[in-house]
């Protein structure tokens, strides 16, 4: 015999059956829990959720991004390349891979020669610390110059702490639309 039919015949209605299962749900039970009261009997205010303070790695990586911007805006290829570890790599938006700081510096030297007064805006979206020697940064950039339209990109940079300094060991950049970079 059908369970619903048996319950209806035994005097329980569908409503009562449904109410039983609704009251058993954790979400509904949570709604009926009592709100904590203060000493004067008033409902206690919900604790404000604190924003976690940035980790040392997050603070350091954001400082690296700011110093990178300063070196880029100055057109200083040597300083820009200096943010990479000697064995670092850079993969540009077209998929071209540059291996080693010397190759990266050579590329930036050529870039700055052909793009005088190029400027970069960097937005660090997230920094995830992996252990105490590794951090992964995700962000967006916009490169502008007097003779070219803005170039938008997204990037993922892997930083490694070497001799007390955070160095980029891998940067993977992809072309982005203006709306994805804001």
Where do the domains of the chain lie? 1-50, 56-181
**126: phi then psi, degrees, rounded to nearest 5:** -160, 150
Closest CA to 90 of 75, 102, 74: 102
The CATH code of domain 56-181 reads: 3.10.450.50
CA distance 135 to 168: 9
Tens digit of pLDDT for each residue in 121-140? 999 999 999 999 999 999 99
Tens digit of pLDDT for each residue in 42-94? 666 554 456 678 888 899 999 999 999 999 999 999 999 999 999 999 999 99
Please state the pTM of the whole predicted model.
Answer: 0.70
């Amino acid at each position: 015999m059908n369970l619903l039919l048996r319950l209806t015949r035994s005097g329980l209605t569908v409503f009562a059956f449904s109410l039983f299962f609704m009251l058993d749900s954790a979400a509904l039970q949570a709604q009926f829990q009592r709100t904590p009261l203060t000493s004067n009997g008033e409902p206690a205010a919900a604790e404000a959720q604190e924003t976690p303070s940035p980790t040392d790695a997050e603070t350091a990586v954001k400082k690296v991004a700011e110093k990178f911007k300063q070196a880029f805006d100055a057109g200083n290829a040597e300083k820009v390349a200096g943010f990479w570890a000697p064995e670092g790599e850079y993969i540009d938006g077209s998929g071209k891979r540059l291996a080693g700081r010397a190759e990266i510096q050579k590329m930036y030297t050529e870039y700055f020669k052909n793009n005088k007064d190029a400027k970069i805006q960097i937005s660090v979206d997230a920094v995830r610390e992996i252990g105490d020697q590794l951090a992964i940064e995700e962000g967006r950039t916009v490169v502008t110059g007097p003779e070219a339209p803005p170039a938008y990109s997204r990037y993922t940079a892997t930083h490694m702490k070497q001799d007390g300094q955070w160095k980029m060991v891998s940067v993977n950049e992809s072309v982005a639309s203006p709306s994805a970079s804001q």
